[in-house]
Amino acid sequence: MEKKEINISYHVFSSMDELDQQFQILMKKAEESLNNAYAIYSGFYVGAALLLDNGEIVVGNNQENIAFPSSMCAERVALYYCKANFPNVKVKKVAIVAKSSQEVLKDLITPCGACRQVMSEYERLQGENMQVILKAEKGDILMFESVTNLLPLAFQSSALNRI
């Protein structure tokens, strides 16, 4: 038996002022977007903003439904909109923010597994990394250079490619 390890790396920022200007703008757009989230069941609001390589910014927010499986996360709302409206444009940066109506979030909220898988697929399809930045209401801000750092063993196989 051989033991192996997976290591991930990320950057930690203590305030928005430490971020580059593009990420500051993207974070503000994600925060604006979360205010339009439809989260009446969970009281948990998430906003996502994508910076595309053509300079466009696409936003999304979580959309809940009384039939919970019909709900959609902010990250997938933004990515699916992007792919539908800008099919050949690459995503350069992703900003994700969260807040709760019940308490101030101090712990960072990361994308769920389904969103990580979708992000991984889009990163693989475009052949370029997407930088991902995560922020709660309080506390540190984390930045990942690639979705691979969020999902190091993503589901993918060349056997599934039919193109």
HEC secondary structure over the chain:
CCCCCCCCCCEEECCHHHCCHHHHHHHHHHHHHHCCCECCCCCEEEEEEEEECCCCEEEEECECCCCHHHCECHHHHHHHHHHHHCCCCCEEEEEEEEEECCCCCCCCCCCCHHHHHHHHHHHHHHCCCCEEEEECCCCCEEEECCHHHCCCCCCCCHHHCCC
The answer to the question of residue 114 being in a domain is yes
Across the chain, what does the average pLDDT equal?
A: 93
Mean pLDDT of 101-126: 92
From the list 2, 75, 103, 128, the catalytic residue is 75
Query: Residue 137: what pLDDT?
Result: 87
Active site residue 137: no
Give a yes or no: residue 3 inside a domain.
Answer: no
Residue 162 predicted with pLDDT over 70: no
Residue range 7-18, pLDDT digits in tens:
999 999 999 999
Containing structural domain, residue 113: 20-160
pLDDT of residue 159: 59
Strands laid side by side in the 91-100 sheet? 11-13, 141-144, 131-135, 91-100, 44-52, 57-61
Q: Is residue 154 part of a domain?
A: yes
pTM above 0.75, yes or no: yes
Tell me, yes or no, whether 59 lies in a domain.
yes
Q: Would you say residue 10 lies in a domain?
A: no
pLDDT at residue 146, as a whole number: 97
Res 158: pLDDT = 67
When mean pLDDT is compared across 72-81, 84-93, 132-141, the lowest value belongs to 132-141
Instruction: Specify if 111 maps to a domain.
Output: yes
| CATH number of the domain within which 94 lies | 3.40.140.10
37, 62 contact by CB (below 8 A):
yes
pLDDT at res. 161: 66
Per the structure, the count of domains in the chain is 1
